[in-house]
């Protein structure tokens, strides 16, 4: 029984680590899933739906990164970053609500804890987006910015 609890704790902490590190990629994930599910409901096959969803997610990520990298207006950069941060904060809210829901009964405490967790995940996505290594970790390209 103890080993199951330890493995469950490790799995939960690993999920949190993944969420914090992949928070900036929530918008491409939601875009890809949306396209995939939409095409499945319209009668397209699994292969076509999954391929189109994957391409939509990759296109969203690449276009967002290029726009964020090449746009110099602080207002537009902030708007692009907010477009990526909102889905990340929503994903963080849902994750914290689900995990804390095992320990806390429904109520204001669970909601407030989930809002704070979503804020942490959103701020992590913000930090990833405004850091110079969002597009690439190559030091040669960072000096050109």
User: For 98-143, how does the pLDDT look when each residue is reduced to its tens digit (9 = 90+)?
Assistant: 888 888 888 899 999 999 999 999 998 888 887 765 545 555 554 5
Task: Please tell me the distance from the alpha carbon of residue 95 to that of residue 119, in angstroms, as a whole number.
Answer: 12
Q: Residue 69: inside a domain, yes or no? A: yes
In a domain, 145, yes or no: no
Decide if 44 is inside a domain: yes
Asked whether residue 112 is assigned to any structural domain, the reply reads: yes
The interaxial angle of helices 108-130 and 74-100, nearest 10 deg, is 140
- Retrieve residue 51's tokens: 């391929």
Residue 103 lies in a domain: yes
pLDDT at 17: 84
The span from the CA of 125 to the CA of 19, in Å, is 9
Q: Name the domain count of the chain.
A: 1
* Residue 116, domain member (yes or no): yes
What's residue 133's pLDDT? Answer: 53
User: 143: Cβ–Cβ under 8 A, 6 or more apart, which residues?
Assistant: none
What is the tens place of the pLDDT at every residue in 66-95? 888 888 888 888 898 899 899 999 988 998
Which of 8-12, 44-48, 140-144 is the most confident on average?
44-48
Question: Pick from 74, 60, 55, 52: which is nearest to 25 by CA?
Answer: 60
Average pLDDT of the residues in 14-39: 89
Q: Where in the sequence is the domain holding 44, given as residue range(s)?
A: 23-137
Higher pLDDT, 39 or 78: 39
37-48 mean pLDDT: 94
In contact, 22 and 92? CB cutoff 8 Å: no
> What pLDDT is attached to residue 39?
95
Read off the pLDDT of each residue in 14-36 and give the average, rounded to a whole number: 88
- pLDDT at residue 144 greater than cutoff 60: no
In a domain, 82, yes or no: yes
Q: How many CB atoms lie within 10 A of CB 137?
A: 9
């Amino acid at each position: 029984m103890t080993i199951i609890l330890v493995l469950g704790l490790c799995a939960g902490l690993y999920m949190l680590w993944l969420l914090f590190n992949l928070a900036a990629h929530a918008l491409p994930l939601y875009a890809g899933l949306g396209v995939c599910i939409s095409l499945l409901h319209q009668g397209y096959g699994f292969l076509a739906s999954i391929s189109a969803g994957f391409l939509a997610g990759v296109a969203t990520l690449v276009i967002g990164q290029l726009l964020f990298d090449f746009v110099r207006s602080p207002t537009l950069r902030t708007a692009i970053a907010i477009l990526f941060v909102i889905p990340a904060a929503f994903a963080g809210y849902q994750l914290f609500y689900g995990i804390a829901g095992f320990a806390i009964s429904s109520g204001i405490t669970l909601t407030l804890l989930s809002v704070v967790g979503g804020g942490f995940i959103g701020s992590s996505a913000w930090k990833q987006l405004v850091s110079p290594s969002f597009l690439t970790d190559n030091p040669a390209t960072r000096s050109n910015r």
